[in-house]
């Protein structure tokens, strides 16, 4: 069944501005709410407004640039006309910051449902439903109720009236804590501070190599917090990492070994940062993104370039053959490692591990030794993965 989204954006915060425009993860609360709805496939996404100030218009424009269709309406009947007959509507309350898991769970409900929180002092700002519970700010309602509610609405609040009619129709009440966390009712920017920190922390998933698990987290966190507030597209960072890696290979062929290594070090966290920013914007990067697929090959090209330079300036064909053999073992290990859990292979060969391993050899000026170590590292990784993957115990 088709699911649409209905979000309120008309209540003011303590400073007189709209709650919907409070800052969150480099954007605004309304953008986060719309992206949550889009993440579950809701379409259309209708935002009920009384007025559209420039800041709200800018937020809608940013969403449209990301191919997320959003329709601001100030007339209830126009809101009704946006939804197909027989569809269900994901209702998100004005000033509510819901965890994504809650939105996903509500969208999967087979019938009308209302997320609730306890009626206690901690939740006194939430709308009361009865003597035991309050509305958590997220619900799944039938579209036919929206039309009949609009016909009888008058001066009443659309969301509150629609919520109460949904409850009268027998909608299931689901504790928000059972759905993955309680939505946050936001009244000031300070209310969003802890929620934003949680979003930033949760945007860093388990890493599959030692360098990104132990050396890069601080850099990732710092860059993510700064760049999420910009208009930078996350995919650009992945392409930048690829271009820097290719640039490093070119530097190696010219003998600019230190410069090439610096480019590789700069490139190492960029795709991770891009992925985190995309996650924060609830539009994850595609796993088959061309720049991602080419990153491994570009890293192999950089290793071959080192072997080529060493071939021409000292150690002959042995260096290039060593580099090529390391690339072969590395590719074989990568293909086998793809079937292993990430936490079991963090110390095996990876692009980032290989980059940081080069630092001490570069400082000592012994690049041929680095190639030999890389061959041993790649071969050992391949045989370890082979043993783990194909042993009787596994």
Q: What is the pLDDT of residues 174-191, one digit of tens each?
A: 999 999 889 999 988 888
Do 182 and 215 sit in the same domain of this protein?
A: no
* CATH code of the domain in which 85 resides: 3.90.550.10
Is a pLDDT exceeding 90 seen at residue 149? no
Residue 340 lies in a domain: yes
Neighbours of 97 (CB within 10 A): 23
Is a pLDDT exceeding 70 seen at residue 392? no
Say what the pTM is.
Answer: 0.88
Confidence of residue 156 (pLDDT cuts 50, 70, 90): low
Do 236 and 380 sit in the same domain of this protein?
A: yes
Look-up of token digits 């009244």:
187
Q: How large is the average pLDDT for residues 306-322?
A: 92
- Residues 71-92 have pLDDT tens digits of 999 888 888 899 988 889 999 9
Do 86 and 224 sit in the same domain of this protein?
A: no
Q: How large is the average pLDDT for residues 27-42?
A: 95
pLDDT at 346: 86
Is a pLDDT exceeding 60 seen at residue 357? yes
pLDDT at 338: 76
Do 304 and 338 sit in the same domain of this protein?
A: yes
**Phi, then psi, of 197 in degrees rounded to 5:** -60, -40
pLDDT at 302: 98
Is a pLDDT exceeding 60 seen at residue 394? no
- Residues 109-145 have pLDDT tens digits of 999 999 999 999 999 999 999 989 999 999 999 988 9
Confidence of residue 343 (pLDDT cuts 50, 70, 90): low
Q: How large is the average pLDDT for residues 247-265?
A: 97
**H helices within 268-350, ranges in order?**
270-280, 290-310, 317-337
Is a pLDDT exceeding 80 seen at residue 97? yes
Task: Please tell me the distance from the alpha carbon of residue 224 to that of residue 281, in angstroms, as a whole number.
Answer: 12
Please identify, among 195, 214, 238, the residue that sits at the C-terminal boundary of a domain. Answer: 195
Eight-class DSSP state of 207: -
Higher per-residue pLDDT: 205 or 111: 111
pLDDT > 70 fraction of the chain, expressed in percent and rounded? 97
Confidence of residue 206 (pLDDT cuts 50, 70, 90): confident
Is a pLDDT exceeding 70 seen at residue 36? yes
Does residue 53 sit in helix, strand or coil?
A: coil
Is a pLDDT exceeding 60 seen at residue 155? no
Task: Please tell me the distance from the alpha carbon of residue 99 to that of residue 102, in angstroms, as a whole number.
Answer: 5
Q: Tell whether the torsion through CA atoms of 206, 211, 215 and 218 is positive or negative.
A: negative
Please identify, among 195, 230, 258, the residue that sits at the C-terminal boundary of a domain. Answer: 195
Q: Mean pLDDT of all residues in the chain?
A: 92
Do 47 and 186 sit in the same domain of this protein?
A: yes
Confidence of residue 261 (pLDDT cuts 50, 70, 90): very high
Cα–Cα distances (Å) from 47 to 52, 72, 157, 196, 282, in that order, read 11, 5, 14, 22, 18
Q: Which domain holds residue 308?
A: 205-390
pLDDT at 138: 97
Q: Is 170 exposed, middle or buried (CB count within 10 Å of its CB: 0-12, 13-18, 19+)?
A: exposed
Do 10 and 124 sit in the same domain of this protein?
A: yes
pLDDT at 35: 96
Do 239 and 106 sit in the same domain of this protein?
A: no
Do 108 and 220 sit in the same domain of this protein?
A: no
Do 181 and 251 sit in the same domain of this protein?
A: no
* CATH code of the domain in which 371 resides: 1.20.120.1760
Confidence of residue 153 (pLDDT cuts 50, 70, 90): low
Do 20 and 115 sit in the same domain of this protein?
A: yes
Do 265 and 378 sit in the same domain of this protein?
A: yes
Please identify, among 133, 160, 195, the residue that sits at the C-terminal boundary of a domain. Answer: 195
Residue 180 lies in a domain: yes
pLDDT at 2: 77
The answer to whether 123 and 36 have CB atoms below 8 angstroms apart is no
Q: How large is the average pLDDT for residues 273-277?
A: 96
Residue 381 lies in a domain: yes
Total domains in the chain come to: 2
Cα–Cα distances (Å) from 246 to 193, 212, 241, 310, 324, in that order, read 39, 21, 9, 18, 17
Residue 200 lies in a domain: no
Confidence of residue 70 (pLDDT cuts 50, 70, 90): very high
- Residues 284-304 have pLDDT tens digits of 999 899 999 999 999 999 999
- Residues 211-243 have pLDDT tens digits of 999 999 999 999 999 999 888 999 999 999 999
Is a pLDDT exceeding 70 seen at residue 202? yes
pLDDT at 393: 62
């Amino acid at each position: 069944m088709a699911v649409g989204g209905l979000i309120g954006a008309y209540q003011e915060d303590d400073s007189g501005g709209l709650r919907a425009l409070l800052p969150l993860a480099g954007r605004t609360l309304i953008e986060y709410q719309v992206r949550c709805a889009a993440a579950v496939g809701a379409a259309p996404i209708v935002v009920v407004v009384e007025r559209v100030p420039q800041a709200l218009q800018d937020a809608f424009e940013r969403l449209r640039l990301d191919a997320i269709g959003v329709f601001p309406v100030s007339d209830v009947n126009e809101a009704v006309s946006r939804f197909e007959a027989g569809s269900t509507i994901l209702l998100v309350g004005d000033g509510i910051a819901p965890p994504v898991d809650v939105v996903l769970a509500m969208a999967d409900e087979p019938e009308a449902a209302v997320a609730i929180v306890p009626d206690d002092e901690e939740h006194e700002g939430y709308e009361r439903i009865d003597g035991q519970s309050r509305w958590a700010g997220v619900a799944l309602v039938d579209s036919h109720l929206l039309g009949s509610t609009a016909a009888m609405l008058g001066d009443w609040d659309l969301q509150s009236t629609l919520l109460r009619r949904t409850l009268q129709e027998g909608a299931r009440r689901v504790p928000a804590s059972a759905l993955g966390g309680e939505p946050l009712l936001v009244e000031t920017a300070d209310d969003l501070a802890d929620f934003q920190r949680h979003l930033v922390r949760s945007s860093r998933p388990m890493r599959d190599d030692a360098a990104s698990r132990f050396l890069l987290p601080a850099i990732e966190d710092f860059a993510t917090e700064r760049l999420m507030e910009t208009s930078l597209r996350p995919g650009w960072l992945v392409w930048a990492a690829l271009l820097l890696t290719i640039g490093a290979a070119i530097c190696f062929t010219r003998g600019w070994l230190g410069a090439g290594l610096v480019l590789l070090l700069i490139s190492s966290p960029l795709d991770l940062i891009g992925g985190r920013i995309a996650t924060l914007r609830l539009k994850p990067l595609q796993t088959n993104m061309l720049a991602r697929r080419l990153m491994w090959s570009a890293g192999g090209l950089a290793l071959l370039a080192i072997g080529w330079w060493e071939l021409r300036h000292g150690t002959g064909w042995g260096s290039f053959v060593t580099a090529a053999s390391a690339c072969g073992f590395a590719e074989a290990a990568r293909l086998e490692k793809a079937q292993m859990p990430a936490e079991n292979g963090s110390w095996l060969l990876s692009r980032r591990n290989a980059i940081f391993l080069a630092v001490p050899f570069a400082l000592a000026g012994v690049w041929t030794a680095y190639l030999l170590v890389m061959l041993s590292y790649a071969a050992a990784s391949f045989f370890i993965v082979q043993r783990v993957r194909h042993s009787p115990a596994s």
